[in-house]
Amino acid sequence: MKKIVITGGSGRFGEILKKYKTKHKLFFPSKNQLDILNIVKINKYLKKTKPDILIHLAGLSRPMKIHDTNIQKSINLNIVGTANITNICAQNKIKLIYFSTNYVYPGLSGGYKENDPLLPVNNYAWSKLGGEASVKLYKNSLILRVSMTEKPFVHKKAFANVKTSFMYHEDVVPLLFKLLNKTGIINLGGKPQSIFDFASKNNKHVKKIFLKKKQNIGIPFNSTMNLKKLKSIVKK
């Protein structure tokens, strides 16, 4: 059994984690207990709980445009906050697992491997890559480049010509617990397919739309990932 602290537990994925039955002891500190922008609070909480692992979910994601309109907030929560978490984990020799995104890849050809060149497609992805930079400095860490979303699919429309590696939150959770002892970088997602194909399987009311190349909305046409590394681990 491992003691695991999870930041951002009040978020969409965090709420799913709270419902998952596991042999491990999970801690979900509130922002007041563990503020990622306050190193003193981070250190105090981790000294008190003495976890084996910290899973870092806290940060800023939606709405996507906020990373353009309020870059200070994006930098603070996704880059500075992650650097603070990494720093204290390193000081206390705590394993760190960081949730990044498949949007750090260029999003042109798809099938991206973990060691492929990176070129974030929008400010959100740049902020997550900024977080990756600090985590990568710490050897006892795992960066998960994740492609996931809520179930049921929350949008009324979905792109039929945009491919990704979406998984639902509920399907990501059991895979996460199989990766607790891993380090480095691992792509974590599902079958490569269009967003519409993915969404319509569980929501028949989703309408098909198409992304035009002239539209500059920060969405990659093909952010699918190569999942061979993940599959080789999960099979064992």
Average pLDDT of 113-127? 97
Report, at the CATH architecture level, how domain 3-150+166-189 is classified. 3-Layer(aba) Sandwich (3.40)
In the chain, the percentage of residues whose pLDDT exceeds 70 is 99
Average pLDDT of 61-74? 94
Res. 236 pLDDT band, cuts 50 70 90 = low
DSSP codes of every residue in 121-168: SSHHHHHHHHHHHHHHHSSSEEEEEE-EE-SS---SEEESS-EE--EE
What the block records as the tokens of 193 is: 């397919």
Higher pLDDT, 18 or 154: 18
Question: How many Cβ atoms are within 10 Å of 33's Cβ, its own excluded?
Answer: 15
User: What is the pLDDT at residue 214?
Assistant: 72
Q: Prior bond to 152 cis, omega within 30?
A: yes
Helices (H), 11-122: 12-19, 39-49, 66-69, 71-74, 81-92
Contact status, residue 107 vs residue 222, Cβ threshold 8 Å: yes
Angle at 192 between CA 142 and CA 221, to 5 degrees: 95
> CA-CA distance, 191 to 111, in Å (whole number)?
11
Domain boundaries, the chain: 3-150+166-189
Choose the weakest-confidence range: 57-71, 103-117, 213-227: 213-227
Question: How many Cβ atoms are within 10 Å of 182's Cβ, its own excluded?
Answer: 15
In the chain, the percentage of residues whose pLDDT exceeds 90 is 92
Q: What is this structure's pTM?
A: 0.96
Choose the weakest-confidence range: 41-55, 132-146, 158-172, 206-220: 206-220
pLDDT, tens digit (0-9, with 9 covering 90-100), for 171-230 = 999 999 999 999 999 999 999 999 999 999 988 899 999 999 777 678 899 999 999 999
